[in-house]
Amino acid sequence: MSQTGSLVVVSGTGYAPGSQVSVRFNGLVVTTVTATSTGAFSTTVVVPATAPLGVCSLTADGTASGGSGLIETGWLPLTG
């Protein structure tokens, strides 16, 4: 569980090396990162102060190593 203003690490694999990965919190882009030479990424985001309490989504989307789209989604419970 997290609270607004807290830091959350978001990571993923399977992206095309050097490709851009957009990280979204409840559908809004909070950062864009570049996948490493192995197709991985890791970044830290701040839970927005305006985030609603309850379960929120964290989504990373970009291009997979094979050229198709890749979307990874996780869920983050917020307690306030």
Specify the pLDDT at position 2: 87
Residue 23 belongs to some domain of the structure: yes
Residue 1: per-residue pLDDT: 75
Tens digits of per-residue pLDDT, 55-79? Answer: 999 999 999 999 999 999 999 999 8
At 80 the pLDDT is 67
Q: Who contacts 53 (Cβ-Cβ below 8 Å, separation ≥6)?
A: 78, 79, 80
Q: For residue 1, tell me if it sits in a domain.
A: no
Please tell me the pTM assigned to this model: 0.91
**CATH code, domain carrying 63:** 2.60.40
Residue 31 scores a pLDDT above 80: yes
**Number of compact structural domains in the chain:** 1
What pLDDT is recorded for position 24?
Answer: 97
Residue 79: phi and psi, rounded to 5, are -110, -5
Does 31 reside within a domain?
A: yes
Residue with tokens 């869920």: 75
